[in-house]
Structure formats: structure tokens, C-alpha cells
Amino acid sequence: MIRVITIEREYGSGGAEIAKKVADRLGWKLWDQLLTNEIARVMECDCRVVEERAEKKDPLAYRLFRAFMRGSFEGSLNAPRMKVADADCIREVTERVVKAVADRGRCVIVGRGSAYYLQNRPDAFHLFVYAPVEEKVRRLQAEGKSAHEAAQLIETVDRDRAAFIKQYFAVEWPDRQRFDLMINSTIGVDAVVETILDSVNRLEMRKPGPASASAAQKHAVT
């Protein structure tokens, strides 16, 4: 029985909007900004720190500062009070939070490496959303960004995500074999949502046992 859907996405492909609509259709909890908030709460730091460093490698200067702090007597005394939130710390906390959220079930989790942390869960459905560059630029311009800013963000954000996945999971992002469905969002958000729900239904029906029929009915598109 599918109880968790993870949505990995290219920046600007509409993954966040798709995730919200899927969660609304299923009546499940959406873990997107809420996931960032929970990670920040556990780490006792500002949400902006998590947003800036999640799915990113630390810049060299910050890594050197972190190494100094962790390697010195003064650093060992001050670090807990300073709440140093580097990429390694955030990754560790994120993994714990994502797995705890998945254990509760009935959730849609956006990014943060969730598809990779939960790759061995039989109750998880993993989705990857992508789109051509021109479509992603168009989406970001509709949100108020200039064409130049949109193009820069598309390149840098996805490059950071790829580096993050390479560093912590030793695979090339997105590592297609990990996903149950990869879909081009140019077919339209509503069409993507319908395809996801239909795919979940079909996967449920292929599973043996009496639970499959009831699960399929529960997730059926009406």
C-alpha cells in the first residue's frame, strides 16, 4: 500500500504546485515548506539557514570555518550555543525528519533528498518532474523573475542539487532508476497530477494480497 509520495524536481518545473495538488486530491499532508520548518525547529535555527544550505554543499570558506570550530577547544565549547547549521548537520537532521514523516504515512514530501533517503521503502512512490529550459524560464517569469535571473537560477539551483546528491549518495542526479515515474510538466499541471494518481493506482493493483483492491479504491481518481 502506497503511503508516501516523494517529488523530486528540476528547478522551475512546477514541482511544488504539483505536489500541493496531489496532496489536496489525496487528502494527505504536504511536506514542503513544512519540512523546512520542522528541520529548523529540531536544529533550533532560523528557517532561512535551512533554506540556504539544504540541498547544497557548503562554500569553501564556511567549510574551513566549520573545521576550525569543530577542531578547537573553544569551538567545542561554543558550537552548541552558536547552533552552527552546516550542510552536513542539516543533512543528518533532514534524514531523521524525512524518515519520521514517512513512518506516519499519508504524506507528499518535496525534495530534500527524500527519494534517496526512502529508496528502500515498499510503501513509497517516487516521482521526478522535469521540463525544457524554455518552459522553466516561462514559469519563473510568470512569478516575477527576469529571463536572465530565471536562467541563472535554473542552472545554479539544479547544479547545487546535483552536487548535493553526488556528495551524499554517490550517484549522478537524478539517478533515474530510483524513480517510479518521471514526467515532463509541459503537459500541464492537472494532467501531471492525474498521471501521478493513475500511476499510483496501477502500481497498487499490481501488488498481491487483499489490501491492493481497497488501496486502489482509496486512491482512485474520481
pLDDT tens for the chain, residues 1 to 222: 999 999 999 999 999 999 999 999 999 999 998 988 888 888 776 666 556 555 555 554 444 434 433 443 433 344 444 345 566 777 888 899 999 999 999 999 999 899 999 999 999 999 999 999 999 999 999 999 999 999 999 998 898 889 888 988 999 999 999 999 999 999 999 999 999 999 999 988 876 544 444 443 344 332
Whether residue 212 is contained in a domain is answered as no
216: in domain? no
Q: How far apart are CA 155 and CA 215, in angstroms?
A: 39
Residue 217 lies in a domain: no
Is residue 220 in some structural domain? no
**Does residue 174 have a cis bond before it (omega within 30 degrees)?**
yes
Q: Is residue 54 part of a domain?
A: yes
Residue 184: C-alpha distances to residues 74, 124, 140 (Å): 51, 21, 16
Q: How many residues does the chain have?
A: 222
User: Terminal CA-to-CA distance of the chain, rounded, Å?
Assistant: 19
Q: Is residue 215 part of a domain?
A: no
What pTM did the predictor assign? 0.77
